[in-house]
Amino acid sequence: MERLERAKRRLDLYYRAEEAILTGQEYSIGTRKLRRADLGEVQSMIKSLENEVKSLEAGGKSKAVRAIPLDI
């Protein structure tokens, strides 16, 4: 699986996790209580993965420019 495809798959899973958290952070099954992952951490990872996907779709080319000051 190539890197872009993997990043898109992970991003989709994080979107699903975010939706699950938003529709019910804590729930019970019988006598067991379950709590989903932290919403802030999931949303942070979504942002990171969105940036990674965007970068990979652009060919991984960075638009950063490095400048070296000259003393004239």
CB atoms within 10 A of CB 21: 19
Q: What is the pLDDT of residue 28?
A: 86
26 phi, psi to nearest 5 deg:
-135, 140
**pLDDT tens track for 16-56:** 999 989 988 787 889 998 887 899 999 999 999 999 999 99
Question: What is the C-alpha end-to-end distance of the chain, expressed in Å?
Answer: 51
Q: What is the pTM of this model?
A: 0.69
| Pair 24, 9: CB distance under 8 Å | no
Q: What is the pLDDT of residue 37?
A: 86
Which residue spans within 1-72 are E strands per DSSP? 26-29, 32-35
35 phi, psi to nearest 5 deg:
-130, 135
